[in-house]
Amino acid sequence: MSGTDPAADQGQPNSWDAVDADTHNGTLGLNPINVDLQLFTKCIQDCQTTISRLEWYQKYIQDNSLDNIKQFSNEPGGKALTNMFSSRGQQLISTMYSLQNTMEKMGDAFTTALQTYLNHEHMTSSDLNRIGSMSGVTPSAPPSAPPTDFNPPASGSPISTISLDRPPVTNADNGIYSSIRPGESMLFDDFYEFGKSLHGSDSIARTAGIQYSWMADQVRSDMSTLHDDLVLLSDDGWTGSGKQAAIDAVATIRDHSSNLSDSIKALGENLQTCAEWLLSTYQGMPVNTAMGYLASGTPGGELMLALGQYRGVYSQTYVPGITTAAAEMPTIQPGVASSPHSSAQPGVTTASAVSNSSAPDASSYVPQNNAAAQESLEPVPTGDVGQWIDQATQILLQMGYAPNQIDARAIATIIAHESAGNPHAINLYDSNAVAGHPSKGLMQTIDGTFNAYMAPGHGDVWNPVDNIVAGVRYAIARYGSLDSVPGVAAVAEGHAYQGY
């Protein structure tokens, strides 16, 4: 992952880096003929408010474990779906931080341009000084208080009669159907244990859904204020060679300011729908073991009939519930890598596949090999690296990634060139290292990227399995598939490997 940063994929942060730089070097300024000083001041204040709110929302997601949701059930498909929701919570934190970074650059650019103009015109800057800097802004709660009532609405019919009445979605469910345990393989006591594991899962999903829906409304309100003021900015308010870049950067934020709230809203609605079929499934499961029923006098024939009913509830409600929820999972673009929250996510524990997870010294770094040409993809290795790849693959499948997204040979190729299979590899010499966040581990992830893409419960960058999972998720998010990673594609075509 040498020399890369997910922020480059977003476009917005980098465009505002350039605009901010233009205001500092004098190639972008305010047009004295058309500038609206009050509007520019208002936009600066909007940026600061948005930054403080985004900081608060990130903490709200973590404080309420929306980035590490308790498993819906003991069944692999339920676990995979829960992990998908947790992953979306983690991506929201990353995306919010990315947007926060953009707001800081925007606010700094506006502030610098306005301050330069005021100084040139010998005008007072008291309003500007009152607003203050964009950095070091403290979290600020939205005007509307978070929800506290998570009880389900009254229903005119028993929830247990609900059935989604549609076949499993196998072509648009993010590959999750293959991870669901077949109902016909489950016996009476399997359904009993399954039912116990569902207890309270509807409340978990409903609570998270209501919290997300509330947050979506708050974010939409925050962004609409900024959007309305940006719309009023005149393109003729800028001057200098950096004018077009500033116009384009403002338009990008203005045109896409509602995307984040829409994604959060869809996530909340999805979770609240999940609460319905989770409760319906739970209420359709046995409350005792087969032996328990027999001991209480229930005939064995009735138990066999009941088993058929449990399988029906499972196949008609639970399975299509999972596949539909996975198919309707909103896409959230990953944000900038250097998330300030690092590994402080509640409920995330460190995996223990490697006994020694302390940070290594510089002598353990194995540089990637970019010299060899006419190569082919690495075969899946045996030994420790092969086992680590296999373990990581199983985790990714449980999270809902499709098997065709996870090419073991592509993973092996990345590992061979990035770290030569050394889980303690660290690069202390490239641009990332100079910037203070060196690439680490098998897949050579910087800390920010690892934190943004790690799986719940797999938060140790030095753990080879955790590192592979985070690296693969990053690669898929950025390039669409492992086969499209530049280094993998280059090697497959007989060229030298390129760092990703």
Query: Measured in Å, how far apart are the chain's first and last C-alpha atoms?
Result: 4
| Mean pLDDT value across residues 196-213 | 95
Domain range summary for the chain, segments of one domain joined by +: 7-327, 362-492
Q: What is the pLDDT of residue 306?
A: 92
Encoded tokens for 209: 């859904």
Distance CA 294, CA 490 (A): 64
Of residues 186 and 430, which shows the higher confidence score? 186
Nearest to 16, CA basis, from 103, 117, 100, 137: 103
Question: Mean pLDDT score of the chain, rounded to an integer?
Answer: 77
Of residues 94 and 205, which shows the higher confidence score? 205
Question: Facing residues of 238 across strands?
Answer: 30
pLDDT digits (tens, 9 = 90+) for 401-426: 878 788 899 999 999 888 888 888 88
Instruction: Please give the distance of CA 101 from its chain centroid, rounded to a whole number.
Output: 17
Burial letters 44-70, b for 16+ CB under 10 A, else e: bbbbbbbbbbbbbbbebbbebbbbbbe
pLDDT of 309 > 50? The answer is yes
**43-47, 122-126, 288-292 — which is least confidently predicted?**
122-126
User: Are the C-beta atoms of 94 and 336 separated by less than 8 Å?
Assistant: yes
pLDDT digits (tens, 9 = 90+) for 230-244: 777 767 777 888 888
Q: What is the pLDDT of residue 462?
A: 92
pLDDT digits (tens, 9 = 90+) for 152-165: 665 444 444 444 55
Using only C-alpha atoms, what is the Rg of the chain? 26
Nearest to 150, CA basis, from 64, 63, 74: 64
Q: What is the pLDDT of residue 213?
A: 95
Encoded tokens for 262: 């829409």
pLDDT digits (tens, 9 = 90+) for 252-281: 776 666 678 888 999 999 999 999 999 999
Of residues 437 and 411, which shows the higher confidence score? 411
**17-26, 179-188, 460-469 — which is least confidently predicted?**
17-26
pLDDT of 338 > 60? The answer is no
Distance CA 108, CA 23 (A): 9
Q: What is the pTM of this model?
A: 0.60
pLDDT digits (tens, 9 = 90+) for 64-74: 999 889 999 99
pLDDT grade for 381, boundaries at 50, 70 and 90:
low
